[in-house]
Chain A
Amino acid sequence: MRNDYRSRNHPAWWAFLVHRLSGLALSLFLPFHFWALGNALQGEARLDTLLKWTEQPLLKFAETMLVLLLAAHLTGGLRLLALEFLPWRGWQKTLLAWAAGAAFAAGLAFALAL
């Protein structure tokens, strides 16, 4: 029998899922990021046109989501490094809470343009 989905309902597994999905989403975004930067090679005007296009509200929202994903992936990665390399006894859930809190703080700071 395969592992039951109900056994995955605990904070560390959700943290794994967030880390994996944010990583995949960021890797999908990366080619667009390079493509956008590559537009600068075609001249200032072309890049400016693209940057203007990204001022739309939907894209601004997507940008905030992107920052949130980046923050979640970064803090999740730091949590994993701490788990692998630091002496470790039963404080992984505290680490999880810190990682989630820091990621949301970073996302909110960006969204509110602090």
Chain B
Amino acid sequence: MDMLKVSVWRGAASGEYRSYEVPRQESQSVLDVVTYIQRSIDPTLSYRFACRVGMCGACAMTVNGVARWTCRTHVAKVAKNNTLQIAPLANLPVIKDLVTDMREFFDKWARARGQFVSGAGTTRKDDFARVAADSPERVAANAGIECIGCGVCYASCDVVSWNPDYLGPAALNRAWTLVNDVRDGARAERLAAVAGDAGCHACHTHLDCSERCPKNIAPTASIAGLKRAVMLAALKGEL
């Protein structure tokens, strides 16, 4: 039977790669490989997953140097000479082995005002808001709305590595979808939240996020949209 040579990060901030041999299967995902190691070789290996079908965003790891959702990444696509190197996501503190602490990642969503705020004067007794599916705002929001919060973009972003305060592609993409939500009532506060040194203008347009997003979202486009919206708001004296 063909065997895969897999080196897996063990430890926390300091640690080492440990090698395992895993039977090669047809249609094998990287998550299958990690699961095999934990269930059949070394039960002390820690990793995170939930849905196994690309919906929850829990199983993202660094595979051969590139951040990926492991449940939808086929070994055949990423293995080189039957070898895999699996590490935790970059730019996040490592709790243990392949598990990172995602708190800072999600706190930044809150800092970018990633929560919907209903418009002034609206009540729960109001009728549903009618938003035309082909309106420019709805189309722009749709382009970014399918984010599953896996952290792949955040882990791939050089600017996050250089400036740990940078809000990052996912939080800014979330803010952009809300800026385009015509029902939202916190546009000015949100634009102010993403306009600082650690906000949209810090983006260096490397497009790492857009290249790596497993949902094919282009956070760079969202960030460019935020830059334009912030500039227009500043020119109008709204910021």
Complex contacts, B90 vs chain A, CB 8 Å? 1-4, 7
Does A52 interact with chain B (Cβ within 8 Å)? no
Complex contacts, A85 vs chain B, CB 8 Å? 224, 228
Give the CA-CA distance A80 to B13 in the complex, in Å: 36
Complex contacts, B161 vs chain A, CB 8 Å? 2-3
Residues facing B in A67-95 (CB within 8 A) are: 80, 83-85, 88-90, 92
Complex contacts, A84 vs chain B, CB 8 Å? 205, 224, 227-228
Give the CA-CA distance A72 to B86 in the complex, in Å: 37
Q: Is the CB of A16 within 8 A of B204?
A: yes
Interface residues on B, range: 20 to 34
Q: Is the CB of A7 within 8 A of B218?
A: no
Give the nearest-CB partner of B155 in chain A.
A3
Does B206 interact with chain A (Cβ within 8 Å)? yes
Does A12 interact with chain B (Cβ within 8 Å)? yes
Q: Is the CB of B156 within 8 A of A3?
A: yes
Q: Is the CB of A12 within 8 A of B206?
A: yes
Complex contacts, A80 vs chain B, CB 8 Å? 205
Q: Is the CB of A83 within 8 A of B218?
A: no
Q: Is the CB of B220 within 8 A of A83?
A: yes
Q: B207 contacts which of A1, A2, A92 (Cβ < 8 Å)?
A: A92
Complex contacts, B210 vs chain A, CB 8 Å? 12, 92
Give the nearest-CB partner of A16 in chain B.
B206
The interface-forming segment of B59-67, B116-124, B185-193 is: B59-67
Give the CA-CA distance A58 to B7 in the complex, in Å: 49
Give the nearest-CB partner of A6 in chain B.
B65
B binding-site residues for A, Cβ under 8 Å? 13, 62, 64-67, 87-92, 94, 143, 155-158, 160-161, 204-208, 210-212, 218, 220-221, 224, 227-228
Given A3-B156, A8-B158, A83-B205, 11 extra CB contacts under 8 A: A1-B92, A3-B90, A3-B91, A4-B90, A5-B65, A6-B65, A7-B62, A7-B67, A12-B205, A12-B206, A13-B207
